[in-house]
Structure 1
Amino acid sequence: MASSFAGCKLHMRGKGSLVTCQQKIESYIRRNIGTNVVPAQAQTLPDDVSDKPAEYKSLLTVHAERQEQAKRSVLINLQHRITEKTFLNYLSKHGKINKYFFYESYGSYAAVEFDSRTSIASLFEEAVISKTNSELMVPFKSRMLSLNNLSAPNSSALSDKKLQPQNSIHINHLISRLSALKTIDQQITSLTEAYQLTEENIRLRFLVCSLVQDITATYFPECTVQLFGSSVNGFGKLGCDLDMRLDLDGISGKQKKRGNLSLEYVMKEVTSERTVTQHILSVIGECVEHFMPGSVGVQKILNARCPLLRFMHQPSGFQCDLTANNRVAVKSTELLYLYSELDPRVRHLVFAVRSWARAQGITSRVSGAWITNFSLTLMVLFFLQTRNPPIIPTLDHLKDLAGPSDQSVIEGQDCTFVSDVTKIPLQSNTETLECLLCGFFDFYSTFAFQKMAINIRKGTEQNKSDMSPLYIQNPFEPSLNVSKNVNTIQINHFVRLCQESVWMLQQGSDEPSATKPWGLANLLLPSGVGGIRKGRKQGQIFSKEMILSLLEGVQAPSKDETQRRKNVAHSVKNTT
């Protein structure tokens, strides 16, 4: 049984910090707790937001609103220098503009939302299909347009202040920003604000998704393409991939009783729904590659466990993954979104742990034996379920609270849980973010990974069903281990870093320094945690193991890459 973090050490960081901490707790209790059990609201931790709680919206409601915004939006490539005033004057001729912003990605672009779809039709009436001498152009009408020849010769281009960033802040700049803050709670909150998806980035994601739907609708007019994963679950970081799902379940006629009139269609003989999905994605892949402006590097990864289409959308800078009928993943997204809305500390802790893991090489964008962000998120949720009192409920408890409209069975798996956050009672846990971060590291530094599995459905440790080094049960597919790819070296690496990180946080600092990283900023230094063991033989041996593990983790290397890895491994062996 993993030990719980017995107490949170309060460090004096400048005058009045202890008083400030007490005031934070009292304010938080007054605003959000009141009694031992309260209905969940869109809560906010004190010190960084207003006292008025935000109105809770279900993920389905958010989807519907964002999709409608996207359908009234266009993406415009700014070919030449242009002033903001000239830009607005021109587009306003086609209708009222609700929202617009500028950004850079392989050029300068503007995303514009009109008040009515009739404005889009007005733009199309004026737009012409470009002609070149070197190649034929496919006349596919997309809501991605180019704007030319509007600026006067002496006009000034858009300033950098007008260009909204679509990528996260550089780690060195983030560390400097965090080092200047006075408390670890402030550091964690600031990190979330720096990394989370902005309003503009969210709008751009839904717009790209809508553009993909325009393509798929040429074959399936009543289909929908919806976002899932990090883009909408509350834990998305600037720069994360764009996960989309092609939904064909809503096509009219499929659920009707057999009548005298039926639709004629060609059905090839197929062996399974998986085969149908592969055929559909293959056809759409051809369409995206040839007809969708700005889409490059199209890959048909059809033999994966979940077949998908992958491509880069250069105008937005997003790497896009399109799957079909991936219903369980959508329910997982809804569940994570619900947890992120229950208590603001959930999002803050997930962002802090993920950032720490990436800085220390625990996670990676490259496929291999690393722990994934999804696995880390489930580990954070499980830890929060084990607090005394629990900060978030178990999935089984959410199922017990579900009403008739919440019932959901997908491919034989029970995916039922309550969707109305106001029906979920929360207990009055008032631990600070610093306490929780320390507690997370302490909890997993002593967790019995050799014997026990992590299960957010029960909220308790369970005996593992196999010998995987890390076993995290899939919330909706209990027979699956979402962390089956992780090897023993990686989980040992994770445990060691947890031990060292909790030690570093407990040491504290008499005075924070804007020039010297401390607290969370210190944990984000690539050598900040691992540097504790520098010079020790044990640390040198571990470094060798880690490098060899990383080399083994990357899949399908080329011949040149294989030889390079052998040279690196040989060098490591000689130095140790």
Structure 2
Amino acid sequence: MAGEGEEGGGLLEGSALLGDVESLPRGGFRCRLCHVTVANQPSLDDHLRGKKHQRLENLRTVRQTQERRSVFVSGFRKGTPASELSSYFQAFGEVANVVMDKDKGVYAIVELQSEAVLEKVLAEPQHSLGGQRLRVKPREKKDFKYNPPRKQGAAKREQLSPEKLAQNLCQADDVDAQMSLMVRLFEFSESERRLRDLLVTLFQEVFLEFFPGSAILPFGSSVNGFDVSGCDLDLFLDLEKTKSFQASAKAPNIPQDGASPELDTHSEDSILSDIDLATTTVPEVLELIATVLKKCVPGVHRVQTVLSARRPVVKFCHKESGLRGDVSINNKLALCNTRFLQLCIEADERVRPLVYVVRHWAKQQALAGNPFGGGPLLNNYALTLLVLFFLQMRNPPVLPTVNHLKELSNADEQTTVDGWDCTFPKDSSRLDPSGNKENLCSLLAEFFREFEDYDFAGCVISLREGRPLPRPSLLASEVSNKLKLGPFNLQDPFELSHNVSANVNEKTALRFQRCCRDAAKYCRSLQYQRKSTKGKIWGIVRLFQPGNPEAVATDGFVLNLPLKLSAGPPPPCELLNRAGDLHQAWFQKICAGVAFTLRDVLGCSCFETPQGCGEEAVSSGFQQPEEQIEVKMKLLSAGTKRPLDSEEGEGALSPSAKKSRTDASLPVGESTTWDCSAWQHVWLGRRRVRRQLRGTDLDPTTTENAGSLELEAKVSRLLSQQEGEATPTEPLLRFTVCAQATEAASGEPGPRVRLRFTPALEQAAAFQEFFHFLQGFLPRMVEQYLVSKT
């Protein structure tokens, strides 16, 4: 036994010198090399003697040996083959391998046979190839990282359609199970985590070559624990060590710790030879970063510097995966926010499911997210903080306040970033377990009840103190001059002068309260609390339907289009003398645009019906004769379409002619109804296909002349082809659309066309995502249609 202990101690000591073993609370250990956690010393000794650890140690040794005898080469002509570089360096000794930057072709890693050959290469004062002066320097040394293999069957995750989401959630046993399932359905797949880790590693390797000592640190949704498949990759480029290295290089007679000859920024090998990071402005550094991304990072394109953002960034897109992201250099507070959110997740397992559900609910209610640019909506960070604040206010609290976290911190954890106190424990084991035992079902219902009548404008929500601060007391504080107050005031937990919901206007704040009120009312019903025995939707599924969860199945989904008289061709001269006929003509044009968008752009079957927009029409809209369904199926399978430009097509899609009115008022009551079916998921993945088309076979001049109708129609066709070649026997969604002319509502300019979408009762949950897409898509397409008719 003594021999085993001594042997184990020796293994531990050797690995500890390499920084592999980390001691955990309560006597456990973690091997950083293998990503393995063990409970005690004997288990650790067994692991260190095991095949996996020994294999990775050998692999690390091989990689480090390769790095020590490799050089980074740039300056050669683009397209230079690896064989030409190999032939050049063989003059100094044997070359083991040459790895080229295949995507950009601007740099290479040359691995030499030995360190003696490396010394000969570096001793040469000047290298040139093909008349080009080469820049040669030792390869940057990097820490070895083990990436666990992807699990079997972890294929690329399919997009989760609303009907599949509803089906999966309805199969759960209770609301708590539904909410936990939401996390598993929306979080990163193993392959997506792997992709992001590889991209971060790639960025780190490239930026180290140009900014010695720099570090790429991911933050935000990718790492804070609230990841959703497809979210952006937010990166922070830390240049502090680079600035120190550059400062040390300016004083060559005074050696400093950490400086080395290869970090001499006055050398021609460095991109920093012509700039001084200490005096260079943020826009200039970001432009330099954008240049590195464009020319030196494989697979990155669409690089754009955005200086107008609150925190200026460089945006980019990864070509193969379509993943978007941005790089910032002055956002250290975001790193603290990220770790704070991670701490909250570690403190209580109920945090993640509650945040995922509230975020998705807000998105479906059009309260959060900005799919078409900026707007007065809540962002995901604001919604997350709102949930954390709610959990702080429970009795007893689920989460501690930021001030209480500061009291639990050690002296070495005192942190100040940009003048703000960001002190909190780094280890969640020091937090006492919450005495609150409420389940997820109860917490979600109480969340809506808490904020259904909340005075967001009259106070400031403070996570630091865990209570709402009255505005008068806040106005007397030192941060009042910078904190932008408005209808919705939610203070950042660390940057106290930042209102994370400052963009929210009064209309959105009131709508948030109204949606909370509707949700709270629904959560008191049995449909929320109990699983349906008849196969109907229940629990949180109804919360994800736009509008009142109780009324949406019968009232339908409403979309209002303004009756714009300047958006299309002039009406006939004989109609100009009568405003009623003028409005009627525009109503017909808008209806034609709606039908054209549904049928010709989105590929839905769309047939005008003689019924009106009353309740009888809604209830009977899906009672179609068998013969009518067969005719529609034949038309769809044959692919026949009547061109809208022809008189026959125009008349078929537009409302039937109506008697002209003698008065000058809007002909309220004019209506048209269509019976529609959607056959493919043409509302999912449009952005990706649109980007592909714009960069391939579409003629730019044709696209500009046709507006976006031709492009969007082609996107729908390609999505349909990708989903399946055969024509489906049953539509995905069946719904009626009723267009009705209405007077302007209070505070709205001019008359409008009210579109009411009524899905089949059993498809109300599945229809909500399609309607959410139509809210932004349909008005733009109708506008393009009217312009194309000029």
- TM-score if structure 1 supplies the norm length? 0.66
Partner of 1:140: 107
Letter in structure 2 aligned against 1:244? L
Instruction: Indicate how the Cα distance of structure 1 residues 388 and 168 shifts in structure 2: closer, same or farther if over 3 A, else same.
Output: farther
Partner of 2:545: 525
Partner of 1:573: 752
* Aligned with 1:169 (options 160, 177, 182): 160
* Aligned with 1:376 (options 379, 383, 397): 383
What secondary structure does 1:461 align onto? strand
1:516 counterpart = 2:507: no
How do residues 423-462 of structure 1 correspond to structure 2 at under 5 angstroms? Answer: 423-462=430-469
Letter in structure 2 aligned against 1:521? V
CA deviation after TM superposition for structure 1 residue 421, in Å: 1.1
What secondary structure does 1:427 align onto? coil
Computing the radius of gyration from Cα coordinates, the structure with the larger value is 2
* Aligned with 2:524 (options 498, 506, 518): 506
How do residues 271-310 of structure 1 correspond to structure 2 at under 5 angstroms? Answer: 276-310=281-315
How do residues 156-235 of structure 1 correspond to structure 2 at under 5 angstroms? Answer: 162=153, 164-166=155-157, 169-235=160-226
Q: Which moved more, 1:213-222 or 1:489-498?
A: 213-222
1:330 counterpart = 2:335: yes
Q: CA offsets per residue over residues 150-188 of structure 1, 9 Å max, x none?
A: xxxxxxxxxxx8462256523321111001222111100
* Percent of matched pairs sharing the same residue: 30
Instruction: Indicate how the Cα distance of structure 1 residues 128 and 385 shifts in structure 2: closer, same or farther if over 3 A, else same.
Output: closer
How do residues 549-560 of structure 1 correspond to structure 2 at under 5 angstroms? Answer: none
Q: CA offsets per residue over residues 414-453 of structure 1, 9 Å max, x none?
A: 1111112111123311000000000111101021113011
Instruction: Indicate how the Cα distance of structure 1 residues 511 and 187 shifts in structure 2: closer, same or farther if over 3 A, else same.
Output: closer
1:247 counterpart = 2:238: yes
User: Does the 8 Å contact 1:225/1:244 carry over to 2?
Assistant: yes
Q: How far apart are the structure 2 equivalents of 1:246 and 1:137?
A: 22
1:476 counterpart = 2:494: yes
Q: CA offsets per residue over residues 476-522 of structure 1, 9 Å max, x none?
A: 11111111011111111111111111111211236525842211111
Partner of 1:237: 228
CA deviation after TM superposition for structure 1 residue 467, in Å: 4.5
Instruction: Indicate how the Cα distance of structure 1 residues 519 and 259 shifts in structure 2: closer, same or farther if over 3 A, else same.
Output: same
Partner of 1:354: 359
Partner of 2:402: 395
What secondary structure does 2:281 align onto? helix
What secondary structure does 1:330 align onto? helix
Gaps of 5+ in 1: 1-54, 70-95, 99-113, 143-160, 549-557, 562-567
Instruction: Indicate how the Cα distance of structure 1 residues 221 and 264 shifts in structure 2: closer, same or farther if over 3 A, else same.
Output: closer
Q: How far apart are the structure 2 equivalents of 1:372 and 1:527?
A: 19
Instruction: Indicate how the Cα distance of structure 1 residues 403 and 128 shifts in structure 2: closer, same or farther if over 3 A, else same.
Output: closer
What secondary structure does 1:218 align onto? helix
Partner of 2:254: 261
* Aligned with 1:417 (options 424, 431, 442): 424
User: Does the 8 Å contact 1:167/1:238 carry over to 2?
Assistant: no
Q: How far apart are the structure 1 equivalents of 2:513 and 2:550?
A: 12
CA deviation after TM superposition for structure 1 residue 141, in Å: 4.4
CA deviation after TM superposition for structure 1 residue 203, in Å: 2.8
Instruction: Indicate how the Cα distance of structure 1 residues 442 and 65 shifts in structure 2: closer, same or farther if over 3 A, else same.
Output: farther
Letter in structure 2 aligned against 1:517? I
User: Does the 8 Å contact 1:179/1:513 carry over to 2?
Assistant: no
Partner of 2:503: 485
Q: How far apart are the structure 2 equivalents of 1:375 and 1:56?
A: 33
What secondary structure does 2:237 align onto? strand
User: Does the 8 Å contact 1:406/1:419 carry over to 2?
Assistant: yes
CA deviation after TM superposition for structure 1 residue 331, in Å: 0.5
CA deviation after TM superposition for structure 1 residue 116, in Å: 3.7
CA deviation after TM superposition for structure 1 residue 372, in Å: 0.3
What secondary structure does 1:164 align onto? coil
Instruction: Indicate how the Cα distance of structure 1 residues 119 and 269 shifts in structure 2: closer, same or farther if over 3 A, else same.
Output: closer
CA deviation after TM superposition for structure 1 residue 463, in Å: 1.7
Q: How far apart are the structure 2 equivalents of 1:127 and 1:427?
A: 57
Instruction: Indicate how the Cα distance of structure 1 residues 187 and 260 shifts in structure 2: closer, same or farther if over 3 A, else same.
Output: same
Alpha carbon RMSD of aligned pairs, Å? 4.2
Q: CA offsets per residue over residues 253-279 of structure 1, 9 Å max, x none?
A: 579898942666567689x97x53322
Q: How far apart are the structure 1 equivalents of 2:229 and 2:61?
A: 29
CA deviation after TM superposition for structure 1 residue 305, in Å: 2.2
Q: How far apart are the structure 2 equivalents of 1:444 and 1:500?
A: 11
Gaps of 5+ in 2: 1-22, 36-50, 71-81, 83-95, 110-151, 256-263, 267-272, 476-483, 565-703, 709-743, 756-790
Higher relative contact order (CA 8 A, sep 6+): 1
